[in-house]
């Protein structure tokens, strides 16, 4: 009896000790790592987070009822306010360092513009970037472009023409006006330095890398297909803004789409191809790191995040 009492007392003392030590650990309050490394054949792929920001699903989505969009979120155990990721992808081919999209820079405020810090944390310096491929000239993709002093800037000629032609600003909705300013400010230093090299034709840019036309969200929106040793990665840019909504309902668009019809067609096409080809997708706005596969099940698309692999 006495022994049992002593044992119980000892157990209580241990519990109290364990409890106390857990409660005593202070919160870290340090930023998340912000980078994610994987490989694609012979290439090293580093996903870089630029930050997350509240994405106003209830006011920005079109061609879907607000009620349906919120229901799609609820089915994914998500609710408003929803944090939306801004992801970019660094491709090291072994002979070239290529950055696809550059985050928002200073244009989205404190939430974002973390890409360079995360790139450094990942072991790369902005000076090492040889080329930047831009999917489209929106602020959250081209806003961070100024940080790379040695890079050549590449994007489709159609995209450059759209944002750099003054007459288009007058025809576009008023809320896009600052987007025109941002696009012009982004490319100006590259033009001045002779490092602005838009491509007229989609197709191969580099051994193993081709530009794929993906118009709709913007007129000259490009996705980039990267292939190495039999593996394929499509860095698709803004094909999907809110995965739980647009995978269930690919017709759902956003008010920033230049052409809703083209955005719908492109999304349906690329979702189908991604599922059939088993491409790895690098997505700008699917939860960081935005790397995964697309699967079709019972008429709906699903996102399967990449399996985590720490082998170097």
Positions touching Zn ion (CB under 5 A) are: 140, 238
- Minimum CB separation of residue 47 from Zn ion in Å reads 15
- Minimum CB separation of residue 86 from Zn ion in Å reads 7
3-state SS, residue 61: strand
- Minimum CB separation of residue 52 from Zn ion in Å reads 13
Q: Which residues contact 73 (CB under 8 A, 6 or more apart)?
A: 57, 79, 80, 82, 242, 244, 245
Nearest of 297, 164, 298 to residue 219 by alpha carbon: 164
Q: According to DSSP H, which parts of the chain are helical? A: 2-24, 57-60, 66-75, 115-121, 139-142, 157-164, 166-171, 177-192, 243-246, 260-277
Nearer Cβ to Zn ion (93/218): 218
Nearer Cβ to Zn ion (195/267): 267
- Minimum CB separation of residue 141 from Zn ion in Å reads 6
Query: Distance from CA of residue 76 to its chain's centroid?
Result: 19
Nearest of 3, 70, 60 to residue 241 by alpha carbon: 60
- Minimum CB separation of residue 131 from Zn ion in Å reads 20
Nearer Cβ to Zn ion (50/238): 238
Nearer Cβ to Zn ion (131/140): 140
Nearer Cβ to Zn ion (206/235): 235
What Cα–Cα distance (Å) separates residue 11 from each residue in 15, 21, 96, 149, 251?
6, 15, 60, 62, 60
Nearer Cβ to Zn ion (208/237): 237
- Minimum CB separation of residue 24 from Zn ion in Å reads 42
Neighbours of 3 (CB within 10 A): 7
């Amino acid at each position: 009896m006495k022994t049992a009492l002593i044992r119980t007392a000892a157990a209580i003392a241990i519990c109290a000790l364990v409890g106390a030590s857990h409660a005593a650990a202070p919160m870290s309050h340090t930023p998340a790592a912000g980078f994610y490394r994987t490989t694609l054949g012979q290439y090293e792929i580093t996903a870089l987070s630029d930050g997350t920001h509240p994405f106003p699903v209830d006011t920005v989505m079109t061609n879907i009822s607000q009620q349906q969009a919120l229901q799609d979120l609820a089915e994914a155990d998500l609710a408003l306010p929803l944090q939306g990721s801004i992801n970019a992808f660094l491709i090291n081919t072994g002979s070239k360092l290529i950055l696809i999209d550059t985050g928002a820079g200073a244009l989205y405020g404190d939430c974002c513009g973390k890409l360079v810090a995360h790139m450094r944390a990942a072991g790369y310096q902005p000076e090492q970037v040889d080329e930047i491929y831009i999917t489209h000239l929106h602020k959250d993709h081209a806003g961070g472009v100024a940080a790379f002093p040695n890079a050549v800037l590449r994007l489709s000629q159609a995209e450059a023409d759209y944002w750099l032609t003054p007459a288009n600003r007058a025809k576009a909705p008023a809320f896009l006006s600052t987007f025109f300013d941002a696009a012009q400010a982004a490319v100006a230093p590259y033009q001045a330095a002779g490092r602005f090299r838009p491509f007229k034709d989609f197709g191969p840019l580099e051994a193993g890398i081709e530009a794929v036309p993906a118009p709709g969200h913007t007129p000259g929106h490009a996705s980039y297909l990267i292939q190495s040793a039999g593996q394929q990665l499509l860095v698709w840019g803004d094909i999907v803004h809110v995965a739980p909504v647009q995978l269930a309902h690919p017709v759902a668009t956003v008010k920033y789409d230049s052409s809703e019809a083209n955005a719908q067609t492109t999304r349906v096409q690329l979702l189908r191809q991604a599922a059939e080809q088993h491409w790895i997708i690098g997505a700008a706005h699917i939860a960081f790191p935005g790397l995964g596969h697309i699967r079709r099940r019972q008429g709906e698309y699903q996102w399967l995040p990449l399996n985590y692999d720490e082998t170097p």
